[in-house]
Amino acid sequence: MAWTDERIDTLRKMWEDGQTASQIAEALGQVSRNAVIGKAHRLGLQSRPSPVKPNEVAVEVAAKPVVEPAAPKPVVAALPEVSKPVEVVAAPPADPVFEADEDEDAEISDAPVAAPAPVAPPQPILRSVGPGGFLRQSPGEQQAPITPAPPRRLVPAKPSADMAGKTTLLDLSDRICKWPLGHPGEPDFHFCGDKVNPGFPYCVAHCGHAYQAQLPRRDRRPPPPLPFGGPRVR
DNA sequence: CCCTGATTCGC
DNA sequence: GCGAATCAGG
């Protein structure tokens, strides 16, 4: 499908309107999301905040405390129509109202957290919640923190005796090589079980199988037929 | 997993 | 110029 003027127009409008590439592609039909993005870039459409790319603008901000007159952005033409404000300009911070007075009874909050002490102590104790949900002590506090009993670790029993010594699905952890040996569903299917190459799901030896240097596209060979996952032969 | 936009590069 | 493949963050 060719990029007719109409289609380009639609693309432009929708892109500037803040529609996602997927939406645009779907609206246009016959094109992929990638095609839309590629075309948008070739058209020189302004890239909108990418989820991947950090907006690198504020490099000099620290060096220049004085606010410069904002450089006019020539590219962005405000559309005459009312469109959703997609502006990402740093918004002025909302009023830092910590709200002391308040009309109560807005809602019955059932949050079990941080229930305020019924009798207000002269010095309210501020606590933060640590990992696991325990309450951290404030610097001044004397009382020893109540340490919750360590959770008991439940270890599932081995399903069958003939798997003794084999690394089963239940044995897998971050530290255990997950390279499969045999085939799922077969009686003795298990995993390598060696200590992993740190940072990888497999041991050093199996990492050698799992990871290979990436060649340029043109030099890539079609993959050898079905090391795993191929049709089961029975 | 899903989504997103950006980039690369064979065609 | 096109867009699939790939990358990389949310």
Cβ of A25 near strand B (distance < 7 A): no
pLDDT at A34: 94
Give a yes or no: residue A197 inside a domain.
Answer: yes
Token pair of A186 as six digits: 């077969």
| Residue-range definition of the domain harbouring residue A172 | 161-210
Give a yes or no: residue A202 inside a domain.
Answer: yes
Give a yes or no: residue A19 inside a domain.
Answer: yes
Cβ of A138 near strand B (distance < 7 A): no
C-alpha distances out from residue A211 to A9, A57, A201, A203, Å: 44, 37, 11, 12
The protein residue nearest nucleotide C1, judged by CA to C1', is A42
The protein residue nearest nucleotide B4, judged by CA to C1', is A51
Q: State, as a whole number of angstroms, the distance between the CA of A32 and the C1' of B3.
A: 15
Q: Scanning the structure block, which residue is given the tokens 């499908």?
A: A1
Cα(A129)–Cα(A5) distance, rounded to whole angstroms?
A: 58
Q: How many domains does chain A have?
A: 2
Chain C footprint bases within 7 A of protein beta carbons: 1-10
Q: State, as a whole number of angstroms, the distance between the CA of A10 and the C1' of B10.
A: 28
Give a yes or no: residue A177 inside a domain.
Answer: yes
pLDDT at A216: 56
Give a yes or no: residue A103 inside a domain.
Answer: no
- Residues forming a β-bridge with A135: A129
Give a yes or no: residue A117 inside a domain.
Answer: no
Chain B footprint bases within 7 A of protein beta carbons: 3-11
Cβ of A196 near strand B (distance < 7 A): no
Cα(A1)–Cα(A185) distance, rounded to whole angstroms?
A: 46
Q: State, as a whole number of angstroms, the distance between the CA of A10 and the C1' of B4.
A: 20
Q: Is the pTM of this model over 0.85?
A: no
Cα(A24)–Cα(A29) distance, rounded to whole angstroms?
A: 8
Q: State, as a whole number of angstroms, the distance between the CA of A69 and the C1' of B2.
A: 41
Give a yes or no: residue A65 inside a domain.
Answer: no
Give the residue ranges of chain A where pLDDT is below 50: 55-127, 129-130, 132-141, 143, 145, 221, 223, 226-227, 230, 234
pLDDT at A39: 93
Q: State, as a whole number of angstroms, the distance between the CA of A107 and the C1' of C10.
A: 32
Buried b (16+ CB within 10 A) or exposed e, A151-169: eeeeeeeeeeeebeebbbe
pLDDT at A36: 94
Q: Scanning the structure block, which residue is given the tokens 């779907």?
A: A26
Q: Which of A140, A109, A113 is nearest to A124 (CA)?
A: A140
Contacts of A41 (CB under 8 A, 6+ apart): A47
Give a yes or no: residue A120 inside a domain.
Answer: no
> ∠ at Cα A100 (A97, A101), nearest 5°?
115
Alpha helices in chain A (DSSP H): 5-16, 21-28, 33-42, 204-210
pLDDT at A3: 92
pLDDT at A88: 38
Which nt is closest to the CA of A37, judged by C1'? B5
Cα(A81)–Cα(A16) distance, rounded to whole angstroms?
A: 12
Footprint of strand C on the protein (CB under 7 A): A 1-3, 31-32, 34-35, 37-39, 42, 51-52, 214, 217
